[in-house]
């Protein structure tokens, strides 16, 4: 009986450690970490109602290779474009800007997800450690395509 107990205990202890988790940082946290260990920032700008955003969250960002590269070589930040929380980043304070009843967009989402005067979700933005934008893309990125992009930038 004791033998089975230890086997079950080892089984449940080992399983969670076998699955890598994507480290998601806040802007403030990533900026602080970058002081000691400069790495590019990957910002995933999304909304709660965006179906393509959910697809990326549930497929691309669950891919073990993507998780490994993002955790090792980048600071990954998930930005809800409709968040009402103030964000202090790069010596600026960014706020939610209402655009009507129960709608609006965060200033930081506008700054990072605007391409050709348009904000479309999802947007993936990659910033160098000096906060300059080196890559922006609107649309679904599968794991294979994102991995190629990340490997070119790191």
* Segment 22-46, tens digit of pLDDT: 999 999 999 999 999 999 999 999 9
Q: What is the pLDDT of residue 101?
A: 87
Instruction: Answer whether residue 10 is part of any domain.
Output: no
**What is the percent of the chain where pLDDT is above 70?**
88
Instruction: Answer whether residue 140 is part of any domain.
Output: yes
Token pair 């391409």: residue:
115
SS3 28: helix
Split at pLDDT 50, 70, 90, the class of 2 is low
What angle separates helix 143-153 from helix 64-73, to the nearest 10 degrees? 20
Instruction: Answer whether residue 144 is part of any domain.
Output: yes
Concatenate the DSSP letters of all residues of 66-112 into one string. HHHHHHHH-EEEEEETT--S-EEETTEEE-EEEEETTEEEEHHHHHH
Instruction: Answer whether residue 46 is part of any domain.
Output: yes
Per-residue pLDDT, averaged over 81-108, amounts to 94
Q: Does pLDDT of 107 surpass 70?
A: yes
In 3D space, the residue among 142, 119, 130 whose CA is nearest the CA of residue 52 turns out to be: 142
Q: Does pLDDT of 20 surpass 90?
A: no
Angstrom distance (rounded) from CA 127 to CA 39: 9
Read off the CATH number of the domain in which 27 is found.
3.40.30.10
Q: What is the pLDDT of residue 154?
A: 81
Q: Does pLDDT of 54 surpass 60?
A: yes
Q: What is the pLDDT of residue 1?
A: 58
In 3D space, the residue among 24, 33, 15 whose CA is nearest the CA of residue 77 turns out to be: 24
In 3D space, the residue among 19, 20, 22, 41 whose CA is nearest the CA of residue 30 turns out to be: 41
Number of domains in the chain: 1
Domain boundaries, position 136? 20-153
Instruction: Answer whether residue 62 is part of any domain.
Output: yes
Split at pLDDT 50, 70, 90, the class of 121 is very high
């Amino acid at each position: 009986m004791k033998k089975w107990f230890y086997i079950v205990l080892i089984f449940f202890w080992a399983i969670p450690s076998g699955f890598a988790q994507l480290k998601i940082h806040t802007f403030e946290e990533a900026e602080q970490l970058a002081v000691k260990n400069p790495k590019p920032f990957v910002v995933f700008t999304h909304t709660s109602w965006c179906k393509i955003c959910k697809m990326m969250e549930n497929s691309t960002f669950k891919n073990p290779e993507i998780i490994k590269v993002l955790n090792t070589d980048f600071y990954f930040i998930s930005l809800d474009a409709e968040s009402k929380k103030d964000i202090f980043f790069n010596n600026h304070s960014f706020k939610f800007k209402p655009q009507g009843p129960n709608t609006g967009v965060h200033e930081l989402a506008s700054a990072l997800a605007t391409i050709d005067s348009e904000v479309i979700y999802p947007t993936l933005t990659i910033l160098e450690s000096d906060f300059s934008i080196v890559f922006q893309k609107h649309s679904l990125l599968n794991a294979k395509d994102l991995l190629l992009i990340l490997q070119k930038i790191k």
